[in-house]
Structure 1
Amino acid sequence: MPLAPDHVGLTTRSRPVLQWYAAGPLNGKLEFTLNEGQKTVMETALNPDKPGVQSLDLARHRYSLKPGVEYEWRVALIIDAEQRAADLIAGGAVRYEPASAELQAQVKRAKPQELPAIYAEAGQWYDALASLSAQITAHPQEKALRVQRAALLEQVGLTEAAESDRRAAAQ
């Protein structure tokens, strides 16, 4: 399932991190596709390593979004390479809007743990999620971070992924 709102999510980064959640092991290959309108602008195979939150960092793939342009991104689980109609597909929409001078100043002054709230208050969904996920990766023992991400996910109805974070925080 995409970790994205049901509307176009915003980012201040031309190369955002896009994330999705896999409830269990993925049997098959994953394919990531980024579309600008009807045109596919990026496509790459992914190797899922484990269940949970997965991500693709556009910076690692050297692709930059254009400001103000809406993109659709999808992750397809390829069940049968000969029958692509059987693929399980999920995705979201993203638009890059450069940060205002005020937001840039807030981000520059902020401590890493303050960034998710700053981005969320500014309506920058992908940045809020990415900064929180980066903190979880850097500090996996800090259970409060998973609770915080669960709350963010619940705000946009991503209850299954949120529940997974809550379970991990309870262990």
Structure 2
Amino acid sequence: MLACLSSVLSVAMCSAPLLAIAQEYRPPQRGTPARREGAGTRGTCLRGPKLLMPLIPIDNFSATVSSSPTFFWYVPRAEAQTAEFALLDSNDQTLYKTVIKLPNTPGIVSFNLPTNVTASVLTVGKDFHWQLSLLCDPSQPSVNPFVEGVVQRMKPSAALASQLKKASVRDRPALYATAGIWQDALATLAQQRCTNPQDPRLVDSWSRLLQSVQLEDFAKEPLQSCPNVLQR
């Protein structure tokens, strides 16, 4: 699987021009995909017109080369004050679990997977499942809205590693997006937006990236937390 994915990424890097800041995501070929789904209202927990939504590609898969990948979700107004994040293996065995404090207002929430977890659990080249559940009623998990997805940590191709080493901070999101590495494209761009929230080029680039995976309805939602992106 890893060799196949790396091959696809290498071809993408060699054949695609650098897209500067206004980038679009180019997904890797993975056969029959799953499909991203948002979580609707259960009882009175969620309020507002939008769903709880993972900021991931439509096929529910995202790749990362980071030793501490960042996950993003749009969290609507809700009764819950906390959420539970869980990382599972291919047999749905829980490898890591933690509780995340939620903001008081709707917006985009991020979570960095700790580096010690990645080093011991997130094996390169394998698919892992993740889930985020809003803890509306901790005593009744079945009523808690949740979303899920698949992530794979990979080793970057030689071409990508070389381009990342030479690239400016502003060009890194475009390189990741062109190579099909969603997690790091979104995280590096989010970090830049946190630093320069009024920069129109970054606002446009963020909109284009989300639009490329049919998440344009969430492009104007505020970033409620900033990722701590480890440079590679």
Q: TM-score range by the shorter chain?
A: 0.7 to 0.9
1:164 alignment partner, SS class: coil
Q: 1:45 and 2:102 equivalent?
A: no
User: In structure 2, what is the equivalent of residue 32 of structure 1?
Assistant: 85
**Could you list the runs of 5+ residues in structure 1 that have no partner in the other structure?**
166-171
1:55-74 alpha-carbon deviations (Å, 9 max, x no partner): 111136x3112111111111
2:198, 2:137 → 1: CA distance?
Answer: 38
Q: 1:123 and 2:123 equivalent?
A: no
Q: Structure 1 counterpart of 2:95, which letter? A: V
2:185, 2:56 → 1: CA distance?
Answer: 11
Contact 1:2 1:19 in 2 (8 A): yes
1:72-124 alpha-carbon deviations (Å, 9 max, x no partner): 11111111122111010012211111111211111111111101111111111
1:34, 1:42 → 2: CA distance?
Answer: 5
Contact 2:108 2:221 in 1 (8 A): no
Contact 1:74 1:89 in 2 (8 A): yes
- 1:26 Cα offset (Å): 3.4
**Structure number with larger C-alpha Rg:** 2
Contact 2:125 2:152 in 1 (8 A): yes
User: In structure 2, what is the equivalent of residue 55 of structure 1?
Assistant: 110
**Could you list the runs of 5+ residues in structure 2 that have no partner in the other structure?**
1-52, 223-232
Contact 1:6 1:92 in 2 (8 A): no
Contact 1:4 1:93 in 2 (8 A): no
Q: Structure 1 counterpart of 2:129, which letter? A: E
- 1:22 Cα offset (Å): 1.8
User: In structure 2, what is the equivalent of residue 82 of structure 1?
Assistant: 139
1:95 alignment partner, SS class: strand
1:14, 1:143 → 2: CA distance?
Answer: 30
- 1:146 Cα offset (Å): 2.4
Contact 2:123 2:153 in 1 (8 A): yes
Report the structure, 1 or 2, having the larger strand content: 1
Contact 1:34 1:40 in 2 (8 A): yes
2:148, 2:83 → 1: CA distance?
Answer: 12
Report the structure, 1 or 2, having the larger helix content: 1
Given the alignment, which residue of 84, 92, 101 partners 2:158?
101
- 1:163 Cα offset (Å): 4.5
1:105 alignment partner, SS class: helix
What TM-score do the two structures reach when normalised by structure 1? 0.88
2:204, 2:148 → 1: CA distance?
Answer: 24
Report 1 or 2 for greater relative contact order, CA contacts < 8 Å, sequence distance ≥ 6. 2
1:26, 1:45 → 2: CA distance?
Answer: 16
What TM-score do the two structures reach when normalised by structure 2? 0.66
Percent identity over the alignment?
Answer: 33
Deviating above 4 A after TM superposition, structure 1's stretches of 4 or more consecutive aligned residues are: none
1:85 alignment partner, SS class: helix
1:107 alignment partner, SS class: helix
